[in-house]
Structures are given as C-alpha cells and as structure tokens.
Amino acid sequence: MKNLRIGIILLICLITAIGIDAQDNLTPSNDILYVTAVSWNSDGNKIVAVGIQQEGQQGYLRVIDSQTGQILYQLDPRPGGFTSVAWSPNNRFIAAGGYDEAIWIIDVEAGSVVKVLYGHQSTVSDLDWNMDGTQLVSTGNWDGLTILWDMTTYQKVRVIEATSWFTLATAFSPNDQHIAVGGENGIRVYSSMSNNSEKPFWSTSEIFYVGALAWNHKGNQIAIGSESFQSIVNPKNKSYAQIYLLDSSNGKQLSSIATQDDTIFGIAWSPDDTLISTYSKNGYVKVWEANSGLLLQSFLGTTAYPEKLSFSPYGGRLAYGGSLPINSGSSTTLVQTNIEGTQSLAGGAVQVIVPDPSLARLQAITQNCGIQLSVQQSLTSQINTNKLQDFVTEVSALTDDQIPLGCKADLLAVADALLK
C-alpha cells in the first residue's frame, strides 16, 4: 500500500510537470520571430507587441500605429525575450516582462527605457497596472512570487509567496480592490489593500491548472482558461482545456465552456462583456459568446508561445500575435489585409480581426464613442436602415475633434466587415 501511494504521488507530480512546462517544451525555430503578447492603448490608436527571437538570445518590442502600421518605437534587448506587456492607463508607459526575470518600463513619449525592475527569480509570466498607474502587479511563473510594485518609486510594496505552486496569470480587479493570481493549483484572489501578504480573500483549487485569467469590466466575474492534459497511460486519451466563469466575490463556478483546444494561455473580455476571446497552445484564436458559450469565430495564430491577446478599447477589433521569419521583420509593407479581412501589421507580427461583426455591435460602439448627439442619431438611423455605405461615408468624413480616432477605426472596421 505504501508503494502504491508513492507511485500515485509520483504520477501526479509527473502530470503536473508536463502541464507546467507546456510553454517551455515547444520547439520554436531559431530563425522565426514569435510575438507572445499584444496590448492596445486606451485611445485605440497604438498597439504594443512583444516577443522572442533566436531562442531567447534577443527580445522583440514594437509600438505600432494601429492605422498605418508604422513602427513608432522598437527595442531588441540581448539576451531577452518578452512574455507579457501592458500599457499604463495614461498611455505614456509600457511595462514588459520576460525571460530575463526583469520588468522593463518604457516611456513611449520619450522613446527610452526609464527603469528595469528586478525581484523575480524566473520568467515574468504576467503583469497588470492599476487604474491610476501608481501600482503594478507581476507574477513570476515557477518562482511562485506575485509582486506589487509602487510605480512612483519603483519599489516593492508587497511580495506574495506561493512556494508550492507556479503562478502564470495575474490582474487587478476593475476597482483595484483585489488582485487575482492563477497557476498550478487554481486561482487565489487577494485584497490589494491588505498588509497580509499570504492570506487570500478567497481561493479555489477545483480548477487544477490556470493558464490565463481576466476580470470582466463590471468586476463581478473572472474568466479562466485551463490546462489540457494527455494521459500518460493512454496517450490517445486527452482532456481538453476549459473556459470557466467564476463569481468574483466568492470563486463559485457560474458556468463552463468546453473547448477542443490545448492549454489556454490567453483570454480577454470584450469591453461590453458579451464576448470572450481565447488563444491556445495549438495555435487557435477563438471568439465565444460569453453567456451561451457559443463559438462564433476561429482563427489560426501561432503554435509557439501563444499568449496574451487584446480587444481594442471600443470592442470593434481584436489583436493577437503571429510569427514571421526574422529577416522579414523590417518589411516595408506596413499594413496587409487578406481576403478574410484579417489585417497584418509590422510584417505579420500582429494580426487584427473584427470579432463577431453585427449591426448591434456597430450600434453599441456608436453609442460609446462620446460623439455629438446629432451625429450619433444620424449614424444610428443609417444602422437601423442598414445603409452601411452611407454610414461609412459619414464616419470617414468625421474629424478628430468630432470622434476619437480609435472609435472611428472600430466603426469603419465593423462596417467594412459587414459590407463584405
């Protein structure tokens, strides 16, 4: 009986190790650039993309004009390789974490690195700014550390040690009162205000392995992307990843969505919380209806280092990372659009799609643009009567003073997708 117990423990450890190492056991090509994470700024006019090239010998960071495809800033540290990235709320700074166990803070306006934060002992797998940009939270994969940083002094405020489990995902709640941390043993939610570094507000280990997590914008739900497992005894027997929706106040499971995907390393809510997008290890980007779990769209991304994806702030577009030969990274073709409407930026490093285009989505974006009421009413009338070509003409004629650039781009992208 004792030997049986030991055997079971070893088997569990082996299964866990297979899951945790999923990101590291991929076999990327040495001459391919892989974009691991992307993020829109809050204006919707810029995308930051980060990644890895030459098997960790060089990192990749680009700030891209989302309309023209022009590269506004670039950084290629050696050695390096980034896995996570986020804009500060004021759109001035970028935080990027990676394989060098550091967090790079970049002033986009000045075009310079202002600080490199050290404190993790392994890959910085995820990070997130709070609402006013005064704090940053980061997770360190197999070091088990979650660190809260004061971004006015660049000092550690708090370190949460989870020595018995890997941490892969973290995020502030929309009201900044809580921090969610996910990894090998499920998800834990901590008070961001408490001085107690270890005791979570709540935790659940029912979801054995969390590859990605995201709060919805209302703050009442957390979406979880799980690991996929392959049986050691019978390799043909495989458990696919799941999407779980949890009540953020207590961790109770509200619903789940079955997938046919490998581990989900990227997950995001649309701004109106009606859609969930996932990026899985088998290379698929998928768009799901949050309430019903219905699969709406599927796109092929990259099977090496697939991680963070990002909705535009008005919800009309979705960006995710791709892969391309290193020698094509300086392509002079800034924007390319294929017959399916997928837009490629920076030589294919970033892919931009229109998630679930519909008249209802066009209407919702129009109402959230903050444009003059008379203009909004005119556009709404054209949507209601399905006069999309007139709609496109009127939106195109609006000046930057009349409509935010990011919202204008979203409206045109959705309308164009409907016209096609």
| Domain layout of the chain by residue ranges | 15-353, 359-419
Helices 359-368 & 405-419, crossing angle to 10 degrees?
A: 170
Range from 56-65, 105-114, 274-283, 292-301 carrying the lowest mean pLDDT: 56-65
- For the entire predicted model, the pTM comes to 0.89
Share of the chain above pLDDT 70, in %: 85
Q: How many CB atoms lie within 10 A of CB 342?
A: 15
- 290 has a pLDDT exceeding 80: yes
Q: What is the DSSP letter of 308?
A: B
Residue 128 burial class via C-beta count within 10 angstroms: exposed 0-12, middle 13-18, buried 19 and up = buried
State which amino acid sits at residue 247.
D
Alpha carbon distance 412, 145 (integer Å): 43
Q: Are 221 and 264 in contact (CB under 8 A)?
A: no
Q: Are 16 and 298 in contact (CB under 8 A)?
A: no
Better pLDDT: 36 or 53:
36
| 172: phi then psi, degrees, rounded to nearest 5 | -70, 150
> Taking all residues of the chain, what is their mean pLDDT, rounded to a whole number?
87
**DSSP assignment string, 98-121:** ETTSEEEEEETTTTEEEEEEE--S
Nearest to 169 by CA among 137, 194, 196, 191: 137
| 87: phi then psi, degrees, rounded to nearest 5 | -85, 145
Which residues make beta-bridge pairs with 280?
264
pLDDT at residue number 14: 37
Q: How many CB atoms lie within 10 A of CB 112?
A: 10
Q: Strands of 32-40's sheet, edge to edge?
A: 71-75, 58-65, 46-53, 32-40, 323-325
Alpha carbon distance 397, 375 (integer Å): 11
Report which secondary-structure segment, H or E, holds 360.
helix 359-368
- 270 has a pLDDT exceeding 60: yes
**DSSP assignment string, 1-56:** -HHHHHHHHHHHHHHHHHHHGGGTS----TTEEEEEEEEE-TTSSEEEEEEEETTT
pLDDT at residue number 234: 63
State which amino acid sits at residue 365.
I
pLDDT at residue number 196: 64
Which contacts qualify for 288-296: CB closer than 8 Å, 24 or more apart?
A: 288/243, 288/257, 289/356, 290/216, 290/223, 290/245, 293/243, 293/255, 293/256, 293/257, 293/258, 296/355, 296/356
pLDDT band for position 334 (50/70/90)? Answer: low
Better pLDDT: 207 or 80:
80
CATH code for the domain defined by 15-353? 2.130.10.10
- 151 has a pLDDT exceeding 90: yes
| Residue 113 CA to its chain's centroid (Å) | 22
The 10s digit of each residue's pLDDT in 186-239 is: 899 999 987 666 678 888 877 768 999 999 999 999 999 998 876 566 666 778
